Structure 1
Amino acid sequence: MLIVISIVSFSLIKLAPGDPVQSFITPAMSDNDILRIRQNLGLDRPVHIQYIQWLKNVITGNLGYSLINHRPVLNQILERIPATLGLMGSSLLLSILVGIPLGLISAANKNKWIDNISTIFSYVGISIPSFWFAMILIYTFSLKLNLLPSIGMRTVGVYTTWDLIKHGIMPTIVLSLQNVAVITRYIRSSTISQLKEDYVMVEYASGASKAEVLYKYVLKNSILPVITIVGMSLPSLVSGAFITETVFGWPGMGQLGINSIFSFDYPVIMAITMFSSLLLIIGNLLSDILYGIADPRIKELR
């Protein structure tokens, strides 16, 4: 899968308009100077030769050097990946902590006012553009109320945990909004289906309360689709991180990727693409493993 992704990505990058050599050209340069720059960057060789050379380097752990700042690509990725993983992890955690209870409450109060509000919230969360929502939050909480910082991961010279949390609140909310909406809808649908099962009626007949039935019995069966949703949501988290990190100036892989795309920094673009793809593949693998652990019947079918 990674090899296929690398071939497609490398081909698309080469087909895209733009030339990284333009970043080095000055009016005083001759055609021979420009040709030497292209040769030094390895861009004068055929595309398939460039790909094979890149693949050989990657297999040996060498992701190359940035065409713009000439720093090792791997070092730049390692510097920024903790910020991206932290933002994605906190967003995923928030999505689960908010989406599951909201879906349960919505299903338990089907067609009532709280269910209607939850449904409206879900539709809005799925439909609203993340960059627009990010700008609304910045305008409201940073410019008008002056409660939260609008950009960056830390305040200059401040290294406290609370400062990091304040900087991460708005990016986390923006990145998790769509997942909260999706998880809420899935949990609601699954819970409504489970409430019609015979075991629920048996528990009620045994004297169990509504809350006990929901959180002790129904939740266990309703939560299974969430495992799949979490695996499916990883692509949206990765792509959403590009937009969110750029809007909020979050120093993660998303921001690095956007800057690399605008500067035609091919080695960095390929490295971020492969790292993102690897995260998605590992996430889907973990999702399958967790599904088998949560539902032993899956192992029996295998």
Structure 2
Amino acid sequence: MARYTVRRIIQAIPILIFISFISFFIIRLAPGDPVKVFITPQMTHEQIERTRANLGLDKPIYVQYFYWIKNILRGDLGYSFINYQPVSKEISERFLPTIGLMGISLLISIILSILLGIASAIHKDKFIDNLISKICYIGISIPSFWFAMILIYIFSMKLKLLPSIGMRTIGAYSTLDLMKHGIMPSIVLSYPNTAILTRYIRVRLIDEMKESYVKTAKSKGISQRQIFYSHILRNSLLPMITILGMNLPSLVSGAFITETIFGWPGMGKLGVSSIFNFDYPVIMAITMMSSIMLVLGNLISDICYSLVDPRISL
């Protein structure tokens, strides 16, 4: 296990380097100039070029990349162009809100998809199955930003049940207030994953019900309930670990949209504001953090799959 983990981590290093290379050059080649944020009408050309040099933008792109990699290897993420704070400080302040939101959304997706998948498979081609299927199709196809605005309109503007923006109400520090703010962002993030996982579990359950071991268990007098929960459901949920690892990117990318709409103070909101402000150090830090999270998520899912199912060899 340890050897496999080390090998996977070593294999991930070239991938992360490739991602950093592509991201760095795409960001630098995108239209826009971060120096314009600092330009005033009174500045001379020499002062503008001095500002560019202070930001490290006067050198060729490949030289900038070399210096960026060198600083990253030393643990220095640089300083934000906009607020002059260390990037590591900004990331650390936004990391926990994003991880908390993603964790709650993932937990909701797992619980709901299992329950809905079981109900859909047991009542195959009946009203409940058709209803759940329609809900899942909507969840797969509906844009996240549109769904978020619908929730805000209904629950915040019309019913006035939930707050529409932020992570806490000013002056309120209770857990209940935090939960109220997190309900709608969690729903928006979890809905697409729940829809995908529900459809997958339904298909897996229906396929497992047709396997020969089910007929053998019935012939031995084992109850239908015991067969379903002890064998069919267990075998159907094993591949779900891999599916969760594959769906982790959708949570990371969805956080950018969701956090921006709901004003959630996480890395997604920070990333969007950094993109609009051409804050290169922050953009690259968030890109690499997201990439590392995806690599680790896939590695953990593979390890968990092998632990749950001893037949799988790493």
Give the TM-score, by structure 2 length: 0.93
Query: Do structure 1's residue 8 and structure 2's residue 22 form an aligned pair?
Result: yes
Q: Which of 291, 294, 299 is the equivalent residue of 2:308?
A: 294
Query: Do structure 1's residue 254 and structure 2's residue 279 form an aligned pair?
Result: no
Aligned position for 1:282: 296
Q: Which runs of 5+ in 2 are unaligned?
A: 1-14
Aligned mates of 1:214, 1:130 — CA distance in 2: 35
Aligned mates of 2:165, 2:221 — CA distance in 1: 53
Which amino acid in structure 2 is aligned with residue 171 of structure 1? P
Q: Which of 119, 135, 138 is the equivalent residue of 1:124?
A: 138
Aligned position for 2:104: 90
Deviations 1:34-88 (CA, angstroms, capped at 9, x unpaired): 0110011110001011001010101010000001111000000000000000000
The structural deviation recorded for 1:201 is 2.5
Query: Do structure 1's residue 113 and structure 2's residue 127 form an aligned pair?
Result: yes
Aligned mates of 1:177, 1:225 — CA distance in 2: 20
Q: Secondary structure at the match of 2:165?
A: coil
Query: Do structure 1's residue 185 and structure 2's residue 205 form an aligned pair?
Result: no
Deviations 1:10-35 (CA, angstroms, capped at 9, x unpaired): 01001100100000001111111101
Q: Which of 233, 245, 257 is the equivalent residue of 1:219?
A: 233
Aligned mates of 1:212, 1:187 — CA distance in 2: 18
The structural deviation recorded for 1:208 is 4.3
Q: Which of 97, 122, 134 is the equivalent residue of 2:148?
A: 134
How many percent of aligned residue pairs carry the same amino acid? 61
> Paired residues, what number?
300
* Cα contact 1:186–1:225 (8 A) shared by 2: no
The structural deviation recorded for 1:203 is 3.4
Aligned mates of 2:81, 2:115 — CA distance in 1: 48
| Distance of aligned partners of 1:66 and 1:220 in 2 relative to their CA distance in 1, 3 Å threshold | same
Which amino acid in structure 2 is aligned with residue 98 of structure 1? L
Which amino acid in structure 2 is aligned with residue 112 of structure 1? K
Structure 2 counterparts to residues 96-245 of structure 1, below 5 A: 96-245=110-259
The structural deviation recorded for 1:252 is 0.2
The structural deviation recorded for 1:202 is 3.4
**Which range moves more in the overlay, 195-204 or 214-223?**
195-204
| Distance of aligned partners of 1:208 and 1:161 in 2 relative to their CA distance in 1, 3 Å threshold | farther
Aligned mates of 1:140, 1:204 — CA distance in 2: 49
Deviations 1:212-250 (CA, angstroms, capped at 9, x unpaired): 332222111000221111001111000000000000000
Structure 2 counterparts to residues 13-92 of structure 1, below 5 A: 13-92=27-106
* Cα contact 1:142–1:150 (8 A) shared by 2: yes
Deviations 1:267-294 (CA, angstroms, capped at 9, x unpaired): 0000000000000000000011011112
Aligned mates of 2:80, 2:28 — CA distance in 1: 16
Aligned mates of 2:309, 2:26 — CA distance in 1: 41
